[in-house]
Amino acid sequence: MRQNESYEGKLMLKKVNNQLFQAQERAMHKEAKTQQEQAASDNHSANLETIYNSTSWRITALLRWSSYQVSLMYKHGIKARFKAFIKKVLKILVLFLVAKPKLITLGTQVAKSLGVAHLLKPFVKSCLYAPVATNKNNAALSSRAAQIFADLKIEIEKQKREK
């Protein structure tokens, strides 16, 4: 009877050792796969960095921007794109004027003489006190970069939910 229990104990121990060995193999396989994926990710990042720093990428920036604007025009209409363009130009102008106090007074006088000062006041405030989008490192992002960052976060969340 004791030999039978000893034999069963040895079988059980062998079975547990076998399961432990298989678990260790799976863990090693997962670790190797993770390292491969990290290396591939690093390789892709390096390739993207090379592309973004290339002369052709910089030369075609205007073409990419123009095609993006045309797609927005088809999506939102000419009137909306023109309005967005005017807002962007005015925002740049406001930020330029804020840096030059003499121009602020001149701009205020011109706006009052044209009768649009009351219309521009809320816009100027929104330009000056608009929250700045930031990434994880709290580095300020441009409006386009902030939009891309937000889109990427949404896509990542979608992919997480699908898994």
pLDDT digits (tens, 9 = 90+) for 113-136: 988 888 877 777 766 665 555 555
> Which among 131, 67, 128 has a CA at the least distance from the CA of 92?
128
**Whole-angstrom Cα distance, residue 13 to residue 10?**
5
What is the per-residue pLDDT across 45-86, written as a single tens digit (0 to 9) for each? 899 899 989 999 999 999 998 899 889 888 989 998 888 888
Phi, psi of 133 (to 5 degrees): -70, 140
pLDDT of residue 59: 92
Q: Domain limits of the chain?
A: 1-59, 131-163
Please state the rounded mean pLDDT for residues 98-117: 81
Instruction: Measure the CA–CA gap between 113 and 103, rounded to whole angstroms.
Output: 15
Contact at 8 Å (CB) between 81 and 72?
A: yes
Backbone angles phi, psi at 136, to 5 degrees: -60, -35
* Tokens matching residue 127: 């330009």
Query: Rounded to a whole number, what is the distance in angstroms from the first to the last CA of the chain?
Result: 52
Contact of 141 with 135, CB cutoff 8 Å = yes
pLDDT tens per residue across span 16-29: 888 888 989 999 99
Contact 64, 52 (CB under 8 A): no
- 3 state SS of 134: strand
- Beta-carbon neighbour count of residue 153 at 10 Å? 10
By percentage, how much of the chain surpasses pLDDT 90? 15
Predicted pLDDT at 136: 59
CB atoms under 10 Å from CB of 107, counted, come to: 19
Helices 61-76 & 78-98 angle (0-180, nearest 10): 120
